[in-house]
Amino acid sequence: EVQLVESGGGLVQAGGSLRLSCAASGFTFDDYSIGWFRQAPGRAREGVSCFSSSDGSTWYDDSVKGRFTISSDNAKNTMYLQMNNLKPEDTAVYYCAAAPGPYGRSWTLFYYGMDRWGKGTLVTVSS
């Protein structure tokens, strides 16, 4: 069974950094694309980043380019989201997700392909 568990969220001041982790089981990153999305209360889901190790394709939302970096340790079946220079508008629950295919080049492809995601971890950025 495919399972994803996020960790690493917390409270941080604007300009600070956090690294989120996602432990995966039931699949390998060689066969799946991986990604992160976020959701603030009362707001729609917002894609953050996605990646496919099979072809090396990566996508970032314009709001996080230059500040966030997605990565994975395939041997440990763990993905990460390094978040630097955090802003109050980054406050949200962050979810990791997986899609069975090489969909890291496009958020649209990843979003419609993803079939599992975790329960989320809360990131709060104070001004």
* Distance from the Cα of residue 14 to its chain's centroid: 20
Q: For 55-70, what is each residue's pLDDT tens digit? A: 889 999 999 999 999 9
DSSP designation for 27: S
Q: For 32-63, what is each residue's pLDDT tens digit? A: 999 999 999 899 999 999 999 888 899 999 99
pLDDT above 90: residue 113: yes
Q: How far apart are the first and last CA of the chain?
A: 40
Mean pLDDT of the chain: 94
> What long-range pairs does 88-92 form, CB within 8 A, spacing at least 24?
88/14, 88/125, 88/126, 88/127, 89/63, 89/125, 90/38, 90/64, 90/123, 90/125, 91/40, 91/123, 91/124, 91/125, 92/38, 92/39, 92/40, 92/43, 92/46, 92/122, 92/123
